[in-house]
Amino acid sequence: MDTEAHLTAGYCAATGTYSSRHPPLTTAAAASFPDYLFPRLLTFPPDSPAFVDASTGATLSFPDLRTLSLKAAAALSALGLRRGHVALLLAPSSLHFPVVSLGVLSLGAVLSTANPLLTPRELADQARDSEPFLALTTAELAPKLGSLLAASRVVLVDQLLAGLAGHDAWAAGASGIGRDDPALLFYSSGTTGRSKGVVSTHGNVIAAAALLQHVWRRRGGGDAEDVYGCVLPMFHMFGFSAFVLGTPAIGATAVLVPGRFSVDRLMAAMEEHRVTRLLAVPPMVVQMAKKLAAGEPSPTSSARRLCLRDVVSSGAPLQRDHMARFASCFPRVSLVQCYGLTETTGIVTMCDLSPLPHGNGNGDGVESSNEPPPASISIGRLVPSTEARIVDAESGESLPPNRVGELWIRGPTVMQGYLRRGEATAAALVTDGGGRRWLRTGDLCSVDSRGLVHVVDRIKELIKYKAYQVAPAELEDVLAAHPDIHDAAVAPYPDEEAGEIPVACVVRKPGSNQPQAQDVLSFVQSKVAPYKKVRRVVFVDCIPRSPSGKILRAQLKSFLRTTTCEMHGAELQATTRV
C-alpha cells in the first residue's frame, strides 16, 4: 500500500499506529469534571431544559442542574462523605441520577454505580470489592442492600433531595481535586473473567465529555439544536458518558424515557418532544424496525411524524440485515455505530453524523469509493486525541490497513486501571518500546484505507446479551455449586433479538438425580440478575478442556453452532462428545 493510502487511513508505518483524523482535544484547565462542567451550565439558556422526563413531563434546567448538584454535595458532606470515599449509587435512570452523580464528584468522592437488576448476592460481591462509604438508592431497591452497610449509611435519594432546601450550595472547587484523582468506579468484566472495578480519573471524565462535544457537533449547526432520546441506563458507561457527561456539557436537551424499554412509549416520546438523535443498543434498533414493519397501513407513517435524524448504536455489533431493515422503515434516519468500553470512559470510535452524505446508510463511510464493501460494518473513526494499533496476536507486530489483529487503544480517556487488580491491570494496560501505554481491547479489528474501524470478532470471552456483559466464568461458578452437576461451561449462541444468549453445556454427575434443563435454568436464575441467566441447557458427555484444564471456548462455540436445528427448546441432549 502506498504512502498516500497510509495517510488516508491515518496510519504511520514508522510507529505502527493509527491516529485520529479529528483535531486534537482542547479542554479548559479545569482540575475536576464539576469544575469543567458547572461554568458551562451557566452559559446555556435558563429556560432550556437539560433533562425532560417523558413519563411525567417534569424538567430540569441547566442552572438548576448545577445548583441542585452543589446542594447535593453539601448534603452528602454533612453525612460524612469525603474526598476519596466511594459512594455506591443503586438507582434507575431519572432526573435525580445526574444530580446525585455530580454531587458525589463535586466532593472528590468516587462514584460507583450498580445495575438495579443485580441480586443481593451480586451486590454484596461488588460492595466487598469497592468498600463504599455509603449507598444512595431508592425505597424499592434498598432491601437488596440487606446488611451490606449500616442502616445510617443507606441514603434514599428522594429523601436526600427533599432536604436540599436546608443546605447551602457546596463551594465549587473546594475539595482540592486533581485530574489524576479517581472519579468513577464502574464495573466491567474486561476481556475475561469476573467483574472488575474500572477506575476512571477526573482527567478521563473531562476528556470523555470534551470529545463528545466535538463528535456530536453538526457541521454548519449548533450543539443545542439536537434533542437526545435517552433510553440507555445511566448506571452503564454508555448511558452515563452520554447523558451525565455529554449532553449537559454541550447544552443539549435529553428526553428520558424511564422504565422497561417499549417501542410504543419511545416513539410517542420522540414525537412529542421532537427528538432528533437517539442513542441505543442493537436490540432496541431491532425492535424499532420490527414494530414499524408490522404497522398498518403504512410502515413508515409513524416514522414520517418524527424529527429523528440520527440513531447511534453501540454495545454490540449490528448485523447488516438489521441495518437494512431499519433503513427501509426509517428512510430519513441515519443509523450509525460507535464503539467504546468501560475502560475507555465511553466511546473511542464513531461514524460521522448527518448531514454528511451516507451512501447506503450502513455507516461504512462518507467518502465515495470504488472499493468493494467491507465484510463488516464500520464502527467509525477514532475520536479526537486517540491512537490505535492493530496487533498480530502471535507475533505482536503492528499491522497496516486491511489486516486483522487485536485493537489496542491509547488516549486521554483510557482508565487508570482496575481497582486492586494489579495482575489484571498489567494484562490490560501494556507499554510499548517507546514507553507509551496502550489498552488491549480484546477485540479483533481492522482499519480500512479510509481510516474506518471494523470489528471482526472478539478475543474476549464475554457474552453480549442485549449489550449487557455476561461473563461465562461467573455463570460457571454458579453451575459448579449445583449438587447434581459434574462439570459445566457457558458459551454464547446467536440470537436475533438479544445478539447473543448464554447457553450452558452441562455434564451430569454420575448417580445423581439427573437434573433436567428446567432444573438447571431455575437454579441459575435464582442466583443472578435476569440478563445473566442461562437461556438454554445442552447436556453433554464432557467439556472440552486443554491439558491445563482451561475450557476450549472456540471448540465449545463451534459445537453449539452445529446444533442450530435442534436449539429451539430449553434443552438439547447431546450423546456425543463435544
Q: Which of 426, 443, 458 is the last residue of a domain?
A: 458
Give pLDDT, residue 173.
67
Residue 548: the pLDDT is 60
Q: Is residue 425 part of a domain?
A: yes
Is 104 among the domain residues? Answer: no
The cell numbers describing 204, all together, are 478521563
The answer to whether residue 76 sits within a structural domain is no
525 and 452 share one domain: no
Do 451 and 510 share a domain, yes or no?
no
Strand 182-188: give its sheet, edge to edge: 154-156, 134-137, 86-90, 110-114, 182-188, 196-201, 417-418
Per-residue cell: 563 = 446444533
Q: Are 435 and 501 found together in one domain?
A: no
Residues 482, 569 within the same domain: yes
Proportion of the chain above pLDDT 70, given as a percent? 88
Q: Residue 513 maps to which CATH number?
A: 3.30.300.30
Name the average pLDDT for the chain.
87
Residues 469 and 528 in one domain: yes
Sorting pLDDT into bands at 50, 70 and 90, what band is 421?
very high
- Whether 535 is in a domain gets the answer yes
Judged against a pLDDT cut of 60, whether residue 430 lies above it is answered with yes
3-state secondary structure (DSSP) of residue 242: helix
112 or 319, which is more confident?
A: 112
Residue 541 lies in a domain: yes
Examine the domain organization and report whether 493 and 419 are in the same domain: no
Domains in the chain, number: 2
| Same structural domain, 560 and 479 | yes
Full residue range of the structural domain in which residue 538 is found: 463-573
Q: What is the pTM of this model?
A: 0.86
Which of 202-211, 220-229, 462-471, 550-559 bottoms out in mean pLDDT, i.e. has the lowest? Answer: 220-229
Does 452 reside within a domain?
Answer: yes
CATH of the domain at 424: 2.30.38.10
Q: Are residues 469 and 517 in the same domain?
A: yes
Same domain for 497 and 423? no
Which of 441, 458, 475 is the endpoint of a domain? 458
In a domain, 483, yes or no: yes
491/473 same-domain check: yes
Asked whether residue 507 is domain-assigned, the answer is yes
Residue 369, helix vs strand vs coil: coil
Q: Are residues 402 and 490 in the same domain?
A: no
Q: How far apart are CA 455 and CA 445, in angstroms?
A: 4
All cell numbers assigned to 559: 459445537
The three cell numbers of residue 138 are 431508592
Residue 380 makes CB contacts below 8 A (sequence gap 6+) with 336, 337, 338, 339, 349, 350, 351, 352, 363, 452, 453
Please report, for residues 205, 246, 516, the alpha-carbon distance to residue 172 in angstroms, rounded to integers and kept in the order given. Answer: 17, 20, 59
Residue 223, pLDDT score: 46
- pLDDT tens digit string along 30-83? 999 999 999 999 999 998 999 999 999 999 999 999 999 999 999 999 999 999
Co-location of 397 and 439 in the same domain: yes
> Where are the strands (E) in 202-246, listed by range?
227-230
User: Residue 25's pLDDT is what?
Assistant: 85
Q: Which of 430, 458, 486 is the endpoint of a domain? A: 458
